[in-house]
Chain A
Amino acid sequence: MTEYAPHLDTNTIVNFGLLAMLLAVLVAIVRTRSLLAAVLLMGIYSLISAVWFVVLDAADVAFTEAVVGAGVSTAFLLGAILLTRTESLTKRWQDMVMPGLVCVGAGVLLFYAALDLPLFGDPSAPANAHVGRFYIEETKNDVGVPNIVTAVLASYRGFDTLGETIVVFAGGIGVALMLGFGERSMGDLPPALRSPVMEALAESDHHVVLRSVAKLLIPIIALYAFYVQFHGEVGAGGGFQAGVIFAVAVILHALIFGLADTMDAIPPELARAFAALGVLLYSGVGVINMINGGNFLDYDHLFPLAFEAGLPGSHLSGGYHHWGQHFGIIIIELGVLFTVAATMIAMFYAFAGRAADVVGEGARG
C-alpha cells in the first residue's frame, strides 16, 4: 500500500474557506453584546457548518444541522430572548482572563495531541479502516439498504438512536416541567399576562399576502417532511430530519395564524401523547424481536423466521431482501418522527405560550 500524502484539491480548498468563515463568525459572536445578533450569528454558524458537512461527504449530518441548528434552535433562542432580555452586560477584563487561560491551555493540549492524529483524509487511518470500513463492506449483506448512514443509525447502532429519541423525550419533559405546555396562552388573559412572544407576532396579523403564501406553503412543507421520512433508506433523510421539518411547518402556522388556532389543530395533550407513543413504538419493535427469539432491536427477528423465509425475494431463501430489516427501520423511523415532531411542537408551545410573569423581584424591563 502506498504511503498516503494529502494534497490540495478543490474540495479541500472549499473546506478551508468555510472553516475561515466559521472562525470569523465565532469572533463576531464573542464580540457582540446584542443577543439578537448573537442568535442570528449562531444560526449562520450552523448553516455554514451544514455546508461544510456537505463538502466533507456528511450529507445526513448536514441536513440535520441545517434543520435543527439553523431551524428550531434559532426559533427557541429567539423565543427565549423575547422572554428575557436582548442585551448582555459589558464584560470587565477581569472576567476574561481566567476563561481565556483555561481555553488556551486546553487548546494547546489538543494541538499537541492532534499532531499525533492520522492525516486528514487518510483512507488507512484507524478510524476509517477498522469498524468504519466494516459498515461500508457489510451493509449490503447485513441490512440491505443503500444509505449506509441509515443502516448504521437504525440497525447496527439502533440502540444509540433509541437513546437519542429518549433524550429528545427527556428534553420535552424538562421543558414542560419548567414552562408547562403553553396552557396559559389558551385562556383569556389580561394584557399584562399575555405571552410576549405571541404579542410580538400578533403585529403580523394583517399581512394578507403572508397568510395566503403560508396557506400554500405549509402543506407543502408537511408533505416534504413525509418525503424526507420515507426517503431515508435510499438517500439523505430520516425520522429526525422529517420530524423537525414537520414541527417547523406547525411553528410557521402558529407564527402566522396565531398560537390559539394552532393549538386547536394540534392540542398540547396530543403532542404529549405522540411524544411518548414514538418511544413506545421504537422500543416495541425491539420487544417484538425479543419475543420472536432474537436480541433486542434485532430486526431480522421482526417476523418469525419461517414467515420471513416465505416472503418474496427474502435473503433467507436466497434473495436479497431483508424484509425484517426494511420494516424494522421503517417502523422505528416512524417512532422517531412521532417523538421528535411532537416534542419540538410541545417545546415551541411552552416557549411561545409562556405568559409574562410579574412575580419575583423587580418589574420587567
Chain B
Amino acid sequence: MIDFTSLIVAPPELTRHAAALLVLGPLVASCAAALSPNGRWAWIISFLASAFSFWMALALTGEVAREGVIVYAMGGFEPPYGISFRIDWLGAMFALLLSSMAMIAAAYSGYSLNAEILEGKRTLFQAGFLLCLAGLLGMTSTGDAFNAFVFLEISSIGTYALIGVGASRDRRALPAAFNYLILGTVGATFYVIGVGFLYAAAGTLNMADLASRLPALEESRAAEAGFAFIMVGLGLKAAMFPLHGWLPSAYAHAPSLMNVFLSATATKAAVYLMVRFAFDVFPPDSIIVERFMIWVMAPLAGVAAIVCSTQAIFQTELRRILAFSSVAQVGYMMLAIAVASGAGIAAGLLHLTAHALMKAALFMAIGGVTLSVTGLRLSDFNGAGRTAPWTMTPFAIASFSLLGVPLTMGFLTKWRLIEAMLGDAYYWAVAVIAISSILSLFYVGRMLEVLFFQPAQTGKNRIREAPLGALIPLWVLTVATIWFGIDGRMVEYIADSAATAVLGGVE
C-alpha cells in the first residue's frame, strides 16, 4: 500500500487552499508572464508556475487520500449556491497528470520557443500557455457545470491563437486554427445548451446537486436532450470520431510546444468531463447513459480505432501520422470507458495517462530536431536516428509504448484494456484493439524504418541532436514510460481509486 498522505509537503496554510491555488498559480503567473520584459523571464515564470501547480496537486492528492473528497467553496458560499471546487480521486489524478505534463512542457519550452517563435511574441506565448494550463486544471477541478464552461473557454481561446502562431513554420496552421476555433466554440456552445436544459429541468448548476436531483427526472426528455448535447459538445472537444476533423491539422501544424502540450492534455480534459457527466452527474444505471455507451460511444470508438489507424498509415508527414494515431488512441480510451465497468473506466484512464506520456515524448523528439530538418515529410527525417541517437532513442521507446511492447507503460495499459473488455464480454472490442494494433505496427514500423534504417543525410542537411534543454524533459518522459511499464502499481492504484470514486456517485 502506498502512503499518499506523505505527498503533502506544503505547509497547512497552503494545503487548506490547495484546490484554489492549483488554478490560481498559473493564472496570476500568466499576467506576470505577459508583463515580463523578455522571453527568458517569461520562461522562468512559466516553469515556476507549473511547478507550483504540481506541488499543489501533490498536496491535493495527499488530502484526497486522507479525506476522500475535498470541497472548496469559492467566496465561502456553500454549494449549490456558490461555486465550489470538488476534488475526488479522479480530479486528483487529472490535477497530477496535467500539472506534471505542463511542468515538463514548460521546461521544454525554453528551447522550443527560442527555436520557433520570434522574440517579440515569446512572452505572450508563455502567457497563453499558462492560461491554457489554468483553464484545463479548472475544468477538471470545478464542481459547477457552468464554471466548467468558463474554464473550457479559458483553455481554448488562448490555444486557438497559439496554434495559429505555427504559421511561421507552415501557413496551414492558420486555417487549422480557425477551423478548430469554429468547431471548438460550437462544441462549447453545445455544452452550454446541454447545461441549460439540465438547469431548466433540475434548477441547479452544481454537479453534486444535479446528481442528487437527476434520478427523480429519469424519464425527463429535457434531461436526456441535455445529456446528448453535453456529450456531443464534449465529444467535439475530445475529438471523438466522427467529430475529430479539426484535430489532425491543428496538431500537425501547431508549434512544437503546443504539439507536446495539447496532445498530452487538451483532449484528455474533455474526456474527463465526459466521464464526470456520464457516470457521476447522471446516475450510471440510467437508461440514457447505458444506451449512449452501448449504441453510440462504443461503436464510434471502435470505428475510430480502426479507421484512423488506417489513415495514419497513408499520411506523408510525420506530425500528421502521429495526429491521426492520437484520434485512434482516443478511440481506445472511449472504448474502454464505454464498457462502463469499474475496470473499464480504470483501464481507459490508465491508457489516457500512458498516451499522454508517449505522445508528448514523440512530439518532443520531433520538435527537438526541427531546427536541422528541412521539411515536414517523413522522408525529410531520413536517418535521423543515426545522427541524433540521443533524441531519437526516446522516440523509438515511445513508439514501442504506442505498440504495447512489454516493459513499456503501453503494454500495461493495453493489458488492462483487454482484461476489462473480456471481463464484460466485449469480445468484438478486443478484436478491434487487436486489428488496430496490427495497423499501428505498419505506421510505427514505417516511421522507425525511416528514422533508423535509411541512410543518414550529410553535410548541410545533417540532422543534429537536440540541445540539453530539450533532451532532459524528453528523457524524463522516457524514463517514466519505462518505470511505469515495470512497476505501475502507483498509477494503477490512482486509476482504480478514480474509477471507484466516479462510479460510487456522489458521497
| Chain A residues close to B by CB (< 8 Å) | 109-110, 112-118, 125-132, 134-135, 138, 142, 155-160, 163-164, 166-167, 169-171, 173-178, 272-273, 275-277, 279-280, 283, 286-287, 290, 294-301, 360
Q: Output the nearest chain A residue to B127 by Cβ-Cβ distance.
A: A173
Contact (Cβ within 8 A) B225 A283: no
Given A131-B204, A163-B147, A166-B131, residue A174 in contact with residue B75 (CB < 8 A): no
A-B contact pairs, 25 of them (CB 8 A): A113-B225, A116-B220, A116-B222, A117-B200, A126-B204, A130-B202, A130-B204, A131-B206, A155-B75, A160-B83, A160-B144, A160-B147, A163-B138, A163-B150, A163-B154, A166-B27, A170-B158, A173-B131, A177-B128, A178-B161, A287-B24, A295-B20, A295-B75, A299-B75, A300-B76
Q: How far is the CB of A130 from chain B (nearest CB, A)?
A: 3
Question: B228 at the A/B interface (Cβ < 8 Å)?
Answer: yes
Q: Output the nearest chain B residue to A301 by Cβ-Cβ distance.
A: B76
Q: How far is the CB of B432 from chain A (nearest CB, A)?
A: 27
Which chain B residues lie closer than 8 Å to A272 at the CB level? 34-35
CA gap between A316 and B481 in the complex, in Å: 56
CA gap between A301 and B77 in the complex, in Å: 13
Q: A177-B161, A273-B35, A276-B31 are in contact. List 18 more A-B contacts (CB 8 A).
A: A113-B222, A125-B203, A130-B204, A156-B77, A159-B74, A159-B82, A167-B157, A170-B128, A173-B124, A177-B124, A177-B128, A178-B161, A275-B34, A276-B35, A290-B20, A296-B72, A298-B75, A301-B76
Contact (Cβ within 8 A) A170 B201: no
Q: Output the nearest chain B residue to A360 by Cβ-Cβ distance.
A: B171
CA gap between A54 and B146 in the complex, in Å: 23
Contact (Cβ within 8 A) B128 A158: no
Which chain A residues lie closer than 8 Å to B153 at the CB level? 167
Q: How far is the CB of B491 from chain A (nearest CB, A)?
A: 30
Which chain B residues lie closer than 8 Å to A169 at the CB level? 30-31, 131
CA gap between A138 and B78 in the complex, in Å: 13
Which chain B residues lie closer than 8 Å to A164 at the CB level? 150
Contact (Cβ within 8 A) B146 A160: yes
The prevalent SS among residues of A at the interface is: helix
Which chain A residues lie closer than 8 Å to B75 at the CB level? 155-159, 295-299
Contact (Cβ within 8 A) B224 A113: yes
Question: B164 at the A/B interface (Cβ < 8 Å)?
Answer: yes
Question: B221 at the A/B interface (Cβ < 8 Å)?
Answer: yes
B201-225 interface with A by 8 A CB criterion: 201-206, 213, 220-222, 224-225
Question: Max chain B CB contacts within 10 Å: which of A117, A164, A283?
Answer: A117
Contact (Cβ within 8 A) A109 B228: yes
Contact (Cβ within 8 A) A174 B158: yes
Given A156-B81, A299-B75, residue A127 in contact with residue B222 (CB < 8 A): no
CA gap between A320 and B414 in the complex, in Å: 62
Given A113-B225, A158-B74, A159-B83, residue A279 in contact with residue B27 (CB < 8 A): yes
Given A126-B203, A295-B73, residue A174 in contact with residue B34 (CB < 8 A): no
Question: B197 at the A/B interface (Cβ < 8 Å)?
Answer: yes
Which chain A residues lie closer than 8 Å to B30 at the CB level? 169
Q: How far is the CB of B186 from chain A (nearest CB, A)?
A: 11
Contact (Cβ within 8 A) B151 A163: yes
Candidates B128, B147, B162, B222; contact of A159 at CB < 8 Å: B147
CA gap between A110 and B200 in the complex, in Å: 13
CA gap between A142 and B76 in the complex, in Å: 11
Contact (Cβ within 8 A) A296 B24: yes
Contact (Cβ within 8 A) A174 B74: no
Contact (Cβ within 8 A) B34 A126: no
Candidates B144, B160, B201; contact of A117 at CB < 8 Å: B201
CA gap between A158 and B82 in the complex, in Å: 8
Question: B452 at the A/B interface (Cβ < 8 Å)?
Answer: no
Q: How far is the CB of A135 from chain B (nearest CB, A)?
A: 7
Candidates A116, A131, A277; contact of B81 at CB < 8 Å: A131
CA gap between A286 and B28 in the complex, in Å: 12
Which chain B residues lie closer than 8 Å to A290 at the CB level? 17, 20
Candidates B124, B157, B199; contact of A171 at CB < 8 Å: B157
Q: Output the nearest chain B residue to A281 by Cβ-Cβ distance.
A: B31
Which chain A residues lie closer than 8 Å to B226 at the CB level? 113
For B305-325 the 0/1 string (1 means CB < 8 A from A) is 000000000000000000000
Question: B489 at the A/B interface (Cβ < 8 Å)?
Answer: no
Question: B80 at the A/B interface (Cβ < 8 Å)?
Answer: yes
Contact (Cβ within 8 A) B82 A156: yes
CA gap between A354 and B315 in the complex, in Å: 37
Question: Max chain A CB contacts within 10 Å: which of B151, B222, B228?
Answer: B222
Q: Output the nearest chain B residue to A359 by Cβ-Cβ distance.
A: B171
Which chain B residues lie closer than 8 Å to A127 at the CB level? 199-200, 203
Q: Output the nearest chain A residue to B220 by Cβ-Cβ distance.
A: A116
Which chain A residues lie closer than 8 Å to B80 at the CB level? 130-131
Question: B165 at the A/B interface (Cβ < 8 Å)?
Answer: yes
Question: B121 at the A/B interface (Cβ < 8 Å)?
Answer: yes
Question: B125 at the A/B interface (Cβ < 8 Å)?
Answer: yes
Q: Output the nearest chain B residue to A134 by Cβ-Cβ distance.
A: B81
Which chain B residues lie closer than 8 Å to A175 at the CB level? 161
CA gap between A135 and B77 in the complex, in Å: 11
Contact (Cβ within 8 A) A115 B221: yes
Q: How far is the CB of B234 from chain A (nearest CB, A)?
A: 16
Which chain A residues lie closer than 8 Å to B225 at the CB level? 109-110, 112-113
Q: Output the nearest chain A residue to B121 by Cβ-Cβ distance.
A: A177
CA gap between A300 and B75 in the complex, in Å: 9
Contact (Cβ within 8 A) B203 A283: no
Q: How far is the CB of B141 from chain A (nearest CB, A)?
A: 11
CA gap between A158 and B164 in the complex, in Å: 32
CA gap between A138 and B206 in the complex, in Å: 18
Which chain A residues lie closer than 8 Å to B160 at the CB level? 174
Given A116-B220, A159-B83, residue A173 in contact with residue B34 (CB < 8 A): yes
For B176-197 the 0/1 string (1 means CB < 8 A from A) is 0000000000000000010001
Contact (Cβ within 8 A) B161 A173: yes
CA gap between A174 and B159 in the complex, in Å: 8
Given A279-B27, A295-B72, residue A112 in contact with residue B221 (CB < 8 A): yes
Q: Output the nearest chain A residue to B80 by Cβ-Cβ distance.
A: A131
Candidates A126, A135, A173, A286; contact of B202 at CB < 8 Å: A126
CA gap between A174 and B483 in the complex, in Å: 38
CA gap between A163 and B138 in the complex, in Å: 10
